[in-house]
Amino acid sequence: MPSPVEIVRRFRRLRALVIGDAMLDTYVEGSAGRLCTEGPVPVVRKTGEEQVPGGAANAAANVRALGADVALLGVVGADPAGAQLRAALRARDVDDRWLVEDAGARTLHKLRILADGQYVVRLDDGDTYHLSPTSEARLIAHLDQLYPDCDVVFVSDYVYGAVSDGLLARLRALRAARPGVLVVDSKALRRFDGLGATVVTPNREEARLLVEAGSAAGDTAGRPALAEIESVGRRLLGVIDARCAAITLAGDGVLLVERDDAALHLPAHPVQRAHDVGAGDSFAAALALALGAGARAAEAVRIGIEAAGVAVTRPRTVIVHHQELLRRVALGAATPPPVEALATRLAEERAAGRRIVFTNGVFDLLHAGHVEFLRQARALGDVLVVGVNSDRSARRLKGARRPINRERDRLALVAALDAVDHAVLFDEDQPATLIRALRPHLHVKGGDYAGQRLPEAEAVRAVGGEVVILPLVGELSTSRVIERIVALTSGAGR
């Protein structure tokens, strides 16, 4: 199975279709210093306003930010909110041309007013319940056009009318001919029976309501017992023909219930102050893309939880970017990839005619010079592998006070860079043993090694490789960065 880092990297190869209720989320910020004389409410002096995609539009924005190409299929009205939603989508590189404009609809709009960071009121507006036959026909025509080219379908259904009965009937027919990854996040899951969804993502209350389980006793911590939630999940899978149910439990994570496997509880990372607006979209978007990239259900849920873990740390409706998720997944890896497994993988790449480039370093304080050097190294071939010195070897090379950052963090940051395909830890002072195992076509070093004899050069020649020296990029170096930090800190302390 591919690693979580590899799964997230594959997001950029995917094409996703998001179907559902597109909304505009508006945030009006202000400060409140007094009460209104007309009634016991605060007077909010406006200081700012922001429009962002919400609902299915936020799901599409997350899919795009996570690296996949995305088409958003939904409904808007011919009104200012619709125009603002389109502009917000385009600003986030989401194509708005598949949104159907219905003359009888009003764009779904949630206006939140905040005073000094605290919610004062939320005003909901819009109506897309009663689609005209013409608009529904256009939605179905768009679905027919988009479905054959997509790798993943994600339905974000708030039951506001965009996901009509006619649209669902057509989606059933398309999936009968060409099944694929389908993730459904809906407040009316019974309507999705017969689609063979890969995963449905209700929260625990939605799951209970679906199977009419009623209230259940909590455990000693005041939380619903996982065994009881699993029972709800099993009955849910008896009601609809989904393969899995990922029942979200807010701060307690997710309970994954699969038809043919034991239930699995995947905990969330604790967050001191969680913001949950849109976090479910981030979770489901990353989950859907992970499934499309070849992850098993449990691994896909873990990746979704990592995305939600980024989202809940921020206020308002937010999106999670590919680089953020990649870094988080890399940091969460239990152990570095074994050299033997990487060597096997590279042998397959080599047999496919791809050119393997290798470089190495401590990468203690990652800076722009590192990033540009790695970008240039990657441009010399098809696959870039970076060897990262372990803490022990870094101390031998740089002294007892180095490295500043531990090996796990350094490895994760390098692995999360766009230019890097694989990052691997090594414990020797020089990477000769690693080079002999990985057999790169090119071994790349920076210009500061020009004219020097490389101890690993013999190993490079032994595997039929070539040493390439790239010119130095700028004047940044980790040692100089550390010296500057020390100087600034010392100056502040005087």
DSSP string, 266-307: EPPPP-SS---TTHHHHHHHHHHHHHHTT--HHHHHHHHHHH
Of 413, 322, 324, 333, residue with least CA distance to 367? 413
Q: Which two tokens stand for residue 434?
A: 């690693």
How many domains does the chain contain in total? Answer: 2
pLDDT at 112 over 80: yes
- What's the pLDDT band for 171 if we cut at 50, 70, 90? very high
Is 204 in the same domain as 297? yes
Identify whether residues 269 and 376 lie together within a single domain.
no
Q: 487 pLDDT exceeds 70?
A: no
CB 409, CB 384: distance < 8 Å: no
What CATH number corresponds to the domain at position 106?
3.40.1190.20
Domain with 155 in it: 4-35+42-332
Task: Looking at the structure, tell me whether residues 380 and 472 fall in a common domain.
Answer: yes
Q: What is the DSSP string of 201-240?
A: --BHHHHHHHHT-----B-TTSSB-HHHHHHHHHHHHHHS
Place of tokens 């195992």: 437
φ/ψ of residue 236, rounded to 5: -60, -45
Which among 407, 400, 441, 439 is positioned nearest to 423, based on CA atoms? Answer: 407
Same domain, 293 and 390: no
Tell whether 57 is covered by a domain: yes
Residue 455 has pLDDT above 50, yes or no: yes
Chain centroid to Cα 200, Å, comes to 18
Closest CA to 223 of 246, 202, 250, 197: 250
At residue 412 the predicted structure's pLDDT band, cuts being 50, 70 and 90, is confident
pLDDT given for residue 154 in this prediction: 98
Q: Which of 120-124, 409-413, 450-454 has maximum average pLDDT?
A: 120-124
Note the pLDDT of residue 473. 66
Closest by alpha carbon to 470, among 446, 451, 443, 441?
Answer: 446
Q: Quick check: 107 pLDDT over 50?
A: yes
pLDDT at 214: 44
Residue 386 has pLDDT above 90, yes or no: yes
Q: What is the pLDDT of residue 129?
A: 84
Residue 345 and residue 243 share a domain: no
Q: Give ∠ CA 408-412-413 in degrees, rounded to 5.
A: 120
Query: Which amino acid is located at 156 in the chain?
Result: S
- Please tell me which of 35-44, 163-172, 223-232, 389-398 the model is most confident about, judged by mean pLDDT: 163-172
Determine the average pLDDT of the residues in 128-137. 91
Residues 58 and 319 sit within 8 Å (Cβ to Cβ): yes
Whether residue 413 contacts residue 403, with contact meaning beta carbons closer than 8 Å, is answered with no
Same domain, residue pair 205 and 88: yes
How far apart (Å, rounded) are the C-alpha atoms in residues 384 and 382?
Answer: 7
Lowest mean pLDDT among 265-279, 288-302, 319-333, 387-401: 265-279
Q: Is the pLDDT of residue 474 over 50?
A: yes
Under the banding of pLDDT at 50, 70 and 90, the label for residue 450 is: low
- Domain membership flag for residue 465: yes
Locate the DSSP E strands across 116-180: 118-127, 152-157
Q: What is the average pLDDT score of the chain?
A: 88
Distance CA 286, CA 294 (A): 12
CATH number at residue 438: 3.40.50.620
Confidence band for 480, pLDDT divided at 50, 70 and 90: low
pLDDT of 215 reads 45
Distance CA 487, CA 34 (A): 47
Tell me, yes or no, whether 302 and 167 share the same domain: yes
Tokens of 177: 């001919």
Residue 493 lies in a domain: no
Q: Name the percent of the chain lying above pLDDT 90.
A: 60
- Pair 294, 384 in one domain: no
Predicted local confidence at residue 35, as pLDDT: 87
Q: What per-residue confidence (pLDDT) applies to 489?
A: 61
Q: Tell me, yes or no, whether 394 lies in a domain.
A: yes
Residues that are catalytic? 281
pLDDT score of 337: 65
Q: Cis peptide before 148, with omega less than 30 degrees from 0?
A: no
Residue 277 or 210, more confident:
210
Structural domain includes residue 494: no
Count the neighbouring beta carbons within 10 Å of the beta carbon of residue 149. Answer: 10
pLDDT of residue 483: 60
Q: What is the pLDDT of residue 216?
A: 47
- pLDDT score at 219: 43
Cα angle at 341 between 335 and 343, to 5 degrees? 125
C-alpha–C-alpha distance, residues 58 and 412, integer Å: 28
Domain match, 398 and 456 both:
yes
Residue 102 maps to a domain: yes
Yes or no: say if 363 and 410 are a contact pair by the CB < 8 Å rule.
yes
Q: What is the pLDDT of residue 433?
A: 93
Domain end residue (candidates: 332, 357, 381)? 332
Please give the pLDDT value at position 300: 96
pLDDT given at position 369: 84
Q: Are 282 and 307 in contact (CB under 8 A)?
A: yes
Question: What pLDDT band is residue 56 in, cutting at 50, 70 and 90?
Answer: very high
Each residue's pLDDT tens digit, 189-221: 999 999 999 999 999 899 988 887 444 444 434
Is residue 492 one of the residues assigned to a domain?
A: no
Domain stop point among 277, 311, 332: 332
Q: Is residue 301 part of a domain?
A: yes
Question: Which pLDDT score is estimated for 218?
Answer: 42
207 in the same domain as 184? yes
Tell whether pTM > 0.85: no
190 phi and psi angles, rounded to 5 deg: -55, -30
Residue at token pair 């009634």: 39
For residues 343 and 229, membership in a common domain is answered with: no
pLDDT grade for 405, boundaries at 50, 70 and 90: confident
Instruction: Say what the pLDDT of residue 143 is.
Output: 98
Domain boundary among 317, 332, 347: 332
pLDDT at residue number 15: 97
Regarding whether 114 and 47 lie in a shared domain, the answer is: yes
